[in-house]
Amino acid sequence: MPAIDPSFENVWDEIVWRGLVHVSTDQEALRALLAGDPITYYCGFDPTAPSLHLGHLVQLLTMRRLQLAGHRPLGLVGGSTGLIGDPRPTAERTLNTPETVAEWVGRLRGQVQQYLSFEGDNAARLVNNLDWTAPLSAIDFLREIGKHYRVGTMIKKDAVSARLNSEAGISYTEFSYQILQGLDFLELYRQYGCVLQTGGSDQWGNLTSGTDLIHRVEGVSVHAIGTPLITNSDGTKFGKSEGNAIWIDADMTSPYAFYQFWLNTDDADVIERLKVFTFLTRDEIVEYERLVAEEPFRRAAQKRLALEVNTIVHGADATAAVIAASEALFGQGDLAALDATTLRHALEELPNASVASGTNVVQALVDTGLVSSLSEARRAIAQGGVSLDGVKVEDDTATVSGSLPGGVSVLRRGKKTLAGVFVG
């Protein structure tokens, strides 16, 4: 990843330009802080799923930008807060077992590691808040930490007030989450001199829990930055709670599906996405903004966005395989030369069906939904509008054999309507 964009005097100016500051503590103080000597900052990730997702990627890349500017990151994976879960707006979380949380902690630590550098004067550290919460007794927690919190202030936090006003209410367990996150910031301040926490703007109540606690206990001012939630121009959110999460684990969202997600970005959203999710310079992004305005049909900005983000998350080789699959599916490459796993992932994103070897192409057309009836399938073949694995189907007695890598086939009706066939 490249260094900080040289067109900015300060990394603060860059993250503001990229739209990464939705809410924060004192902005002038933050600008001065980030322009001075290296500071230690942190972001926390709770293991409430076996993978991080697109929303977390905003935080990971923000952390990387700050590290490239010379500051020292702490990546916190919440072994204790993951056992509790921060309050959702609608209902209580289902608590996962300690064994599940411990497994997910390991998975998330591996993911966080990919985005930070662990070498040099500002090397990153990974920390787990279970290390300092597990030894605390309930009495110690209440006496040393709980006494600094006022219930009147706690119930005003957005996440808490939303639940208090809902039919579900809120348990004392989730109500206490903000205290645990405040304790994290205090502990990291004491151990590492950490003076800045970043997170999503929907976490602002939890972020300020830590800044307030440190001010009361230590008498010093520390800072927080809340990044905007990622939404489409129509207001649609992406995330686990919305059921449409884009995961960074390749087994949960394949590199092909991940690439297609970015490639399908709306013109109204693509420049914002380039700012947030890539390390392209301001000059480069301004040029893509011009191209979107003047030549939107070329979708140059979307292609660059998909290339950059997929390379950051899945690597150059996986991205090259995905692009080759995309091109081959639409007649610009050799289907037989594709990587079997990537081809299978690509076909999973298309209409598809599983059939036995030797199934008639006519039946496969119906099974995949490319036609609605056997008679329609025969007409399409007779009109010369059907191909199998890139070869025109000449008659309706042809069969599907799964001749492509991984035992699959590609059916095409017309120029652009494709379907995958998994032969077994």
Task: Indicate if the pLDDT at residue 3 is higher than 80.
Answer: no
Task: Indicate if the pLDDT at residue 324 is higher than 90.
Answer: yes
Please say whether the dihedral angle defined by the alpha carbons of residues 89, 90, 95 and 101, taken in this order, is positive or negative.
negative
pLDDT for 418 equals 95
Helix or strand holding residue 159 (H, E)? helix 158-164
What residues does 224 pair with on adjacent strands?
A: 197
Can you read off the two tokens belonging to residue 413?
Answer: 């009706």
pLDDT for 266 equals 95
CA–CA distance, 262 with 273 (Å, rounded to integer) = 9
Q: What percent of the chain has pLDDT over 70?
A: 97
Q: Which residue has the higher pLDDT, 274 or 9?
A: 274
pLDDT for 1 equals 57
Second CATH level (architecture) for the domain 11-232: 3-Layer(aba) Sandwich (3.40)
Question: The tokens 């202030």 sit on which residue?
Answer: 153
pLDDT digits 0-9 by tens, 249-304? 999 999 999 999 999 999 999 999 999 999 999 999 999 999 999 999 999 999 99
pLDDT digits 0-9 by tens, 90-143? 788 889 999 999 999 999 999 999 999 999 999 999 999 999 999 999 999 999
Domain 254-349 has CATH 1.10.240.10: yes
Task: Indicate if the pLDDT at residue 162 is higher than 90.
Answer: no
Domain limits of the chain?
A: 11-232, 254-349, 350-424
pLDDT for 204 equals 94
CA–CA distance, 382 with 169 (Å, rounded to integer) = 64
- The strand pair at 40-45 and 391-392 is best described as unpaired
**Distance between alpha carbon 333 and the CA centroid of its chain, in Å?**
30
| 85 confidence band (pLDDT: 50, 70, 90) | confident
**Is the fold of 11-232 the same as that of 350-424?**
no
Domain 350-424's class? Answer: alpha beta
